[in-house]
Amino acid sequence: MLALAAVAGAAGLAAYAAAVAERLGGLLAVIGAAGVAVLAAALVLRLPTLVMPGLALLGAEYAVLFVVRGDTLDVRAPLYGAAFLVVAELAFAAIELRAGTAEAGLVPRRAAWLVGAAAAGVVVGLVVLAAAATPLDGGLGLEAVGIAAAVVLVAALGRAAVRSR
């Protein structure tokens, strides 16, 4: 069931990028279909090493969409990112759960975490999108503040990742 949901979500992501492309939609559809096929093969054959290449192809399709469109912003990017996260988690969960019996309560906890992470990703993505779309003429001082904030954010994320181990 999880594998089917992951493949269906991947197909939706692939279809989105191919459908909104103004040109070269066929090329995007081929890249996306290859990503879905690799992901499906990974899940059918129970090969976790194939999940990442399938996801990479889906990500490459989305990246090529920006090249084709020439846009710097996609207002649906936060939703795409959340859906991408859900697809990846479902794919890995499908492989993990086939390896044995899940501990009692694991599936509801994992589902709650996934919903929370996806929602948080949408919120953060919307904030970043709004900040990127806001025209600012702050000069060098504002750029320095932005760079310092980015460095602090990366350091905080790195520290949180180390603590979670």
**Residue whose tokens read 């460095």:** 151
pLDDT of residue 11: 97
Identify the CA nearest to 74 among candidates 30, 16, 147.
Answer: 16
Torsion of CA 44, 48, 49, 54, to 10 degrees: 60
Residue positions counted in the chain = 165
Mean of per-residue pLDDT scores for the chain? 87
- Most confident range, picked from 55-59, 76-80, 124-128: 55-59
CA triple 37-44-48, angle to 5 deg:
85
Residue 161 has pLDDT above 80, yes or no: no
Query: How far is C-alpha 58 from the chain's CA centre?
Result: 9
Residue 165 has pLDDT above 70, yes or no: no
Interval 62-89: pLDDT, tens: 999 988 887 667 888 899 999 999 999 9
